[in-house]
Every structure is written in structure tokens, then in C-alpha cells.
Structure 1
Amino acid sequence: MSLTRRSLLGLMSSTLLLPLLPQAARAAGPGIDLIILSDLHSAYERMAELLLAVQARVAAASRPQVILFNGDLFEAGNVAAVRSGGEADWAFLSALAKLAPVVFNLGNHEADLDNDLAHFVERARAAGVTVLSNIKDKRTGKPYAESGATLAAGDMTLRIAALATNALGTYPKATREMLDIPQPVDWARENLPGLLKAGDVNIVLSHAGVVPDRDILPMLPDGTLVVGGHDHLVFTHEAGNTRYVHSGSWGALLTVATIAAPGEAARIEQIAIDRGGPSAPELKAVIDAVLAKHLTAEDRAVVARTKRPFTLLETARFTAAAIAEKAGADVGFIGHTSFGTGLPEGDVSRFDYNAAVRFEGKIMKAQVDAATLAVLLARCNQEGDIPLAARTGDYLHAAPAPAAGKELYVIACNDWSAINRKSYFGREDLAFTEVPDLKLKPLVIEALNKA
């Protein structure tokens, strides 16, 4: 059951009351499972595998299931997604909606394939998905969707609030002039008290990123589940009974948060999704057909060969080291979200390569003293158990380790990292200059073929 367009238009408040879950599901067991997805980015190499994992989870469940999708279904760098209008992505989202209620928070890539966010909202609602966002349409002055929803599950009430990143430069260029996005912390301070309520199960879907989320967490009722996104991270932070969880990107993980009762801490489970593992046959058939129809000979051309598969982190460190070597620098740097997934073993097609190294860019160099380099490196390679206070969100990968004993060092990075040096490097006084005739993607391919 879903709300009609007429009833949606008739809502006067900022919250949306969702229909009850089916009686059989509500009576099946105590608590609730929240299946968390985020930052999928048209991950065709894992999407059917991810769907099968969700299907299996729902089929085996003894308690109500709700699917929370925290933004970024699409990826403009996936040429098959672009050329097909996201046929496989929409099939995935529609399949989810047939399994359990789906609540979707708009990310910064929902307009990648169609630059009008209103079109995404309309189509997702037609598929039975509840769309939430705090983004307003500048053309009308009205929100693209409600910023909160209330859902009854068993004997519990779920209150779900959603907010977006206001980093306008991460949205498609043609979309930016249509968007009015509030500063996340200010918006949270003003709106979350009215959307959340002590005594209910409180959930915040934030695609704002770690830095604003860190300031929002102390505002929340204890026991809130905060689902983070945008930065493509994997971690869980505990504060009292509140849980702040990031589920990575590109379908590499399925995260499930189980909440036994309002105010109680969510139990977090994360399941790895194997590339090329068992998959949902219907969606796999759609993906195969899309790739067969829309990939050209150039897309399928082998650009590199690997002797083993590379994880995302290995791909990122390899790239940073390749930047340093090609630019004649001591250390190379590149941002974490410049990468989608890792590299497969053996022949790497241009299509697969573009899923790993997402963006093209110029290469920039700067000179720093040893003390400055030490400060820069302290912000990098933020994997593992990093305290929330030390996290910068989308962080830099750095490689190789610099030789000791030098007074001055040359560093190199892609131009996006240099342009956004304040957020990545933590300072604005780095004097970068462009390395002539050097681009990121070709240099990494060259390094892979030498390895």
C-alpha cells in the first residue's frame, strides 16, 4: 500500500505518515530490522548480488523489515547507466520496493541521469518508494519531498528525518541552479526537534557527510540511529545508545541495524557482497542486457591487465604512488571518493577501469618542508578504528611513505584535491602548480601495465 499523489499533495506538514506494515509482518517477531544501503552509484558489478542478499535477508526474517537507502543510486561515470536512462538501477529500486517499505533520502547523484530532481522523486514514488529530502526546488520555492516520515512497525513507531549535503559542487552542474540546500547543522538544529520524539525509534538519514554529522549527533535523543553517507566510509560510532553508521559504497556491504525497542542501541551487522557471487537472476538479466546493448567496443577495450584483484583501498594507494612516480614527487595524494570500487583480476576493460578510477583530472605539485608534510600525512589514510573527532569525511590516500631526513619534499595530487585543499589537506597555504601534459587516468593505466 502506498499514498496516492493526491494525498501527498494534500499534506501540509513537513512529515509524511506512512501506512502500517502488513499485519503478518508486524506480528512475526520482536523489534525491527533496518536494511541500510547507501552510495550505490550504478554498481552493476555487484547490484544483482546485493539484491539477492536483501531478498535472502527479508525472506528469512522473523521481524518487520524496512529498507533505508541513504542517497546516490546513480553514477554519471557509468556509460551504460547514462545511455539506458538507469534501466537497471530503476529495476533494482523497484525490486526493493516489492520486498519491504523503502525510504530513500536524496543524495547528490540522483540527478546524474536526468538533471531535474523532481523527475526522480516522481518516478521513485510511482515505484512505491517513500522519498525524503530537505532540498528545496528554487523554481517553486517548495521542497522536492518531505523531510520526515513516520512509520508504524509492530508496536513501535519509527520517526525518520533526512538531510542532504550542501556541497553544491558535488551535484551535476546543470542541476545546481535548481537547488536550495540548507546548511546541514543549522537545518538540523531548527528541524530535528520537531521530526524526532523520545519514546519512539528515531532515525536520521544524513547524506551531509561526517563533518556536519559530528556536530549534529549531540542534538539527538539518546538511542537515535544515524545513517551516514556521501563520504564512502565504513565505520560505526557509539555515543550512549546512539549509533552512527556508515555502510561504504558501490554495493560492497549490506548493513543491517536491529532495534529491539525504542531508545535501545541498534545492533549493527555488516555483510560483504562478493563481486561475481550468487545474484538475483531477474536483475542480472536486466544488467546483462543493458551492458550488451549500450557498451561500445571502446568501452569493452582492455586498457590494463592485473595479476590479482585490487581492493578499493589497494587501488587508491596504487594510484597515489603512481601520481608521485610520474610527477617526480616524494608523496602522491588523492581523495577517497575518487574511487568507486576495486579492480578485477586479469583483463581490465575501460568500463571496469572507470568504475574504479571515477574522474579524470590534471596533476598538481607543491613543495613543503618536513614539518608540514608530517602534518599533512597525519590526516591521510583514515582506515581502521579512527576516532570520530579525527575523521575529516572524504579523506586523502597518500603513498608511498616518504624517505626520512629531507628538509623539503615535493608532493603531487589530482586537481580536485588541490582545489579543495582546505577540506582535504586542512590548509589553504599550499602553492600548487600544474604539471604540464599529465592526466590522472592515463598515468594510472600506464602504471598498471608496468606492474
Structure 2
Amino acid sequence: MNGSNAMSRRTLLAASMGVGLAGLAGGPALAAPSRGRAKVLMLSDLHSAYARLAPLLETMRRVVRRDRAPSLILLDGDLFEHGNVVAQRTGGSLDWAFLEALTQLAPVVLNLGNHDADLVDDQAKTIDRARALGITVLSNIVDARTGRPAAASRATLDLGFPVHLVGLATNSLDTYPKDIRPTLSVPDPAAWAAANLPKTAPDDGLLIVMSHAGLPADKLILPTIPDGTLVLGGHDHLAFDHAQGRTRYVHTGAWGEPLSVATIDLADKAAPIRVARVHVDPAGPADPALAALVAATLKAQLTPAETAVVARIPKALSLGDTGRAVAAIMARAAGADVGFMGHTTLGTGLPAGDLTQYAYDAVVRFDGAMMRAEVSAQVLADILSRANQDGDLPLARRTGDFVYGAPTRPAAKGRYVIVTTDWCAKRQKGYFGRDDLVFTEVPGLRVKQAIKDGLHG
């Protein structure tokens, strides 16, 4: 690392060892503010997105080098993906190569998510390896075996002015790898935030809250956040930003799209944080070294069955349009009127052209039984009113978990049959907003095979 876009590894390591939130409670400031300008590059839920890593790295490099303002890179959890067979077989070697390259651009901070132990048998191994690269690791997760924090929940970094960071995780233990759940103790996010977040903004710099707790928890926390805070949300794979006074709450999608960039100017008292989204084109300019490494690794690791073409997609679809397309396929396969697919069961949108088994597994991440229920026209209208939250919606209408549903305007009648995945059926309150739906399994149908057959057809 060199120049004004990065600080020394010594400073990074000092921060990762748990330097407190100096100045928030009247203590001495870490450093006097200088110009008070910086850029913060934000990502969450990358999930071993190997098709995007090289273009993403090149995009981030260009953003960092665009001007001389110091930069900071924030990764809000879920870097890894167990469902990616190449990630499994290589221990995430491509993810780690990407992370190491990021540390050459700017200081990097990782707030732990629920998938960051996907490729190891102990979360501590991910933490140790990240720290060895000079990455600051944050989390409020407690190691249940020792009763000690898995990592520091806060750190202060110097970007010419102090940047005070706090990180917290989701307490939905069923979303963590099954084998490590007994080793984890995760506090309720809202209760933890009430007890641990500062009540006032720092007078010497910027407060950043990195939350992988999910939007419903964040909506409880946001009213208590000091004005002028940058809040980064993750876990729900959403892409939007929300203004709350001078505070900015940002979700930056998943699979490396989009890259969100906050421009910080502490001299601007009315709007010290401005947020922009940068589209990352998977076919656009790419870091040549990482692109070559990705290509060689995929060639060496993928089997003929995984590179076999399972469908041809006429044109690329957005994530939302992919969700509605697969929901419609599910409905046809089950003989239902409307299909519903949980938003995070999908990783990325369908690409144009030949779709390999490996690429398909990045689109439909999880398998399971298909479940059906019969509902009235009124109930269906209520479910559809909260489905398809991929548009530009106000925060009040966002629910965190949601379903893509299709068709969106089914033919009028008194009662309807709906179909969804067993994951959504078991968590119907979160996905459908109600707990009175009676689901039964559709015999002989599995989610991934039914959708693949529909795409092939």
C-alpha cells in the first residue's frame, strides 16, 4: 500500500487489535481532522462471485485512483459460498486472492456474516487468515466455547481524520453453517445496538456502522443512530440507499453488483455523506492477473458435468426478472396458479447464452421440496402486494426477506393454488407476511431440477 489512498499495515493492525471509539465519550481523539474528505467503497454478500471478481477489482481500482482522496474498503459479510464447488475444492483461493489484491488498494474492513465460515470448520480460521493480510475484522459474535468475542466489535482507523467503525451480525443461527452453530453465540442485534452504539456522533470524524443483521433488525436500530452516520447493511441482498437526516443507510446488493461508493466531506455540514452506485459489468474491463487466475482455476477444477450446458438463455435477465421467471416455471411445474421464489435463494441473474450447470448453481443456490397451498383471492392479493421488492421502494415498504412472484396478474377467480420452496413455507411470516397458510409438499418435485427442466424447455 502506498500514497494517500492507503495507510500502513502497522496502522491497520493496530486498528484490528481493538482500538476503541476515541472521542465518542469525551476521550482523546485519535487524530485531528485534516481536509475531512475520503471515499468509502462498500460491498456485501459477494458469495464467491468468481465471474465478477476480476471486473470488480478493476472497477474498484479505478474508483480509488480517480482522485487523491483517501479510500477505505468495507466488506459487510458473506464473502464465501459453500454452494460454489470451486470455492469448496480450493478453500476459496480465488476469494483470498481478491482480498489480498484489495489490501494493495486501500485499508480493508470485514464485518463477519453468516457465510464467512462456509469453507472452514471454524470461524476463527477465517478471522486469522484475514488478519494475516492486514484486514481489520469486526464482529459482535461471541465464541460459545470460550465466552470471548470472536473479534473486536469496533475499531478506529485513520483516513486523515478518525473513522470509528462498529460491526454486528445476524442472530439467525439457522443461516450459519450447521457444523459451527454450536460454537456461536450471537446477541439480538437491536438489543446489542442499544447497549453498545454511541448515542452521539463523534466530534472528531465519522461513525460507520456495519450491520449484517438484516433489514428488519436495522429498521429497529436506525432511529437510535446518531445523525451523520454511515450505515452499511447486508444479509438481505438488497440494493438501495436511504437518507435519514444526514445519515445514509446503504445496501449494496450481492454478487458484486453494484459497488456502492460514499464520498465523505466533513466540511459539508448539510450533507457530509453522498452515495453513488457503480455498475460492474462482468464483461467489462478486468484485472488481467486475477482474470487469468480465475480462468485457470475454473478450468482445472470444473468437471465435464459442471461445464455441461443445461439451457440456453435468449437474453440476460436482471435478478428480479430472473426471480419472476423461475417463479413462473415453478407454477407451471406444480400446476399452480402463481409461483413464489425467496429472493436470497437466487444468487445472480440469468446470463445470456449457454447456461452451464456451474453457472446455473450460482443462479439457483439451494435445493428443496416444492410446497403448495390454496388461498383466497384476497389473500393472494395481499401476498402479491409485498412481493417483488426489487424496485425503488421506500424503506417503510421493505421487509428484508421477500418473494419474487409470477404471474403478477393472474386470471381472476375466487381461489388460487400457490407454490413456493420449503424454506419459504417454513418461514412464511417473514416471506409472506402471515402465518395462516397451510402448505403441503408437491410429490416428486425438487426446486433445482424443476427450474432447470423449465429453463431447458
Report sequence identity in percent. Answer: 50
Structure 2 residue aligned with 1:368, among 375, 378, 399? Answer: 375
> Partner residue of 1:146?
152
Q: TM-score, normalised by structure 2?
A: 0.92
Structure 2 residue aligned with 1:33, among 35, 39, 42? Answer: 39
Give 1:374 shift.
Answer: 1.2
Structure 1 residue aligned with 2:207, among 202, 220, 227? Answer: 202
Size of the aligned set, in residue pairs, is 444
> Partner residue of 1:308?
315
1:395/1:135 CA distance change after superposition, 3 Å = same
> 1:47-446 residue pairs with structure 2 within 5 A?
47-154=53-160, 156-193=161-198, 197-261=202-266, 264-446=271-453
Contact 1:37–1:254 (CA under 8 A) maintained in structure 2: yes
Contact 1:150–1:160 (CA under 8 A) maintained in structure 2: yes
Contact 1:161–1:196 (CA under 8 A) maintained in structure 2: no
Which whole-Å CA distance do the structure 1 matches of 2:100 and 2:163 have between them? 22
Q: Deviations over 1:367-422 (max 9, x none)?
A: 11111111111110112221211211021100013434311111100111101111
Which whole-Å CA distance do the structure 2 matches of 1:9 and 1:96 have between them? 16
Which whole-Å CA distance do the structure 2 matches of 1:101 and 1:195 have between them? 26
Which whole-Å CA distance do the structure 2 matches of 1:134 and 1:280 have between them? 34
Which whole-Å CA distance do the structure 2 matches of 1:374 and 1:202 have between them? 42
Structure 2 counterpart SS, 1:177: helix
Contact 2:16–2:152 (CA under 8 A) maintained in structure 1: no
Structure 1 counterpart SS, 2:255: coil
Which whole-Å CA distance do the structure 2 matches of 1:403 and 1:309 have between them? 25
> Partner residue of 2:26?
none
Structure 2 counterpart SS, 1:397: strand
Q: Match of 2:41, as an amino acid?
A: I
Contact 1:46–1:250 (CA under 8 A) maintained in structure 2: yes
Consecutive unaligned residues in structure 2, runs of 5 or more = 1-7, 23-29
1:223/1:7 CA distance change after superposition, 3 Å = closer
1:132/1:288 CA distance change after superposition, 3 Å = same
Give 1:91 shift.
Answer: 0.4
Give 1:265 shift.
Answer: 3.7
Give 1:268 shift.
Answer: 0.6
Give 1:60 shift.
Answer: 2.1
Q: Match of 1:166, as an amino acid?
A: N
Give 1:196 shift.
Answer: 5.8
Give 1:198 shift.
Answer: 4.8
> Partner residue of 2:25?
none
Consecutive unaligned residues in structure 1, runs of 5 or more = none
Give 1:437 shift.
Answer: 0.4
Contact 1:45–1:276 (CA under 8 A) maintained in structure 2: no
Give 1:344 shift.
Answer: 1.9
Which whole-Å CA distance do the structure 1 matches of 2:143 and 2:120 have between them? 15
> Partner residue of 1:44?
50
> C-alpha root-mean-square deviation of aligned residues, in Å?
2.5
Q: Deviations over 1:223-266 (max 9, x none)?
A: 11110111111111111111101110001211100110076441
Higher mean alpha-carbon deviation, 282-291 vs 100-109, is at 282-291
Higher mean alpha-carbon deviation, 100-109 vs 404-413, is at 404-413
Which whole-Å CA distance do the structure 2 matches of 1:100 and 1:396 have between them? 37
Give 1:11 shift.
Answer: 5.7
Q: TM-score, normalised by structure 1?
A: 0.93
Which stretches of structure 1, 4 residues or more, deviate above 4 A after TM superposition?
3-15
Give 1:282 shift.
Answer: 1.3
Which whole-Å CA distance do the structure 2 matches of 1:365 and 1:45 have between them? 34
Contact 1:38–1:249 (CA under 8 A) maintained in structure 2: yes
Structure 2 counterpart SS, 1:223: coil
Contact 2:54–2:288 (CA under 8 A) maintained in structure 1: yes
1:91/1:307 CA distance change after superposition, 3 Å = same
Higher mean alpha-carbon deviation, 188-197 vs 158-167, is at 188-197
Which whole-Å CA distance do the structure 2 matches of 1:84 and 1:117 have between them? 17
Higher mean alpha-carbon deviation, 210-219 vs 338-347, is at 338-347
Contact 1:161–1:195 (CA under 8 A) maintained in structure 2: no
Which whole-Å CA distance do the structure 2 matches of 1:115 and 1:230 have between them? 21
Contact 2:340–2:419 (CA under 8 A) maintained in structure 1: yes
Higher mean alpha-carbon deviation, 364-373 vs 3-12, is at 3-12
Which whole-Å CA distance do the structure 1 matches of 2:17 and 2:333 have between them? 60
Give 1:4 shift.
Answer: 9.6
Contact 2:12–2:157 (CA under 8 A) maintained in structure 1: no
Q: Deviations over 1:117-147 (max 9, x none)?
A: 1000100000010000000111111111110
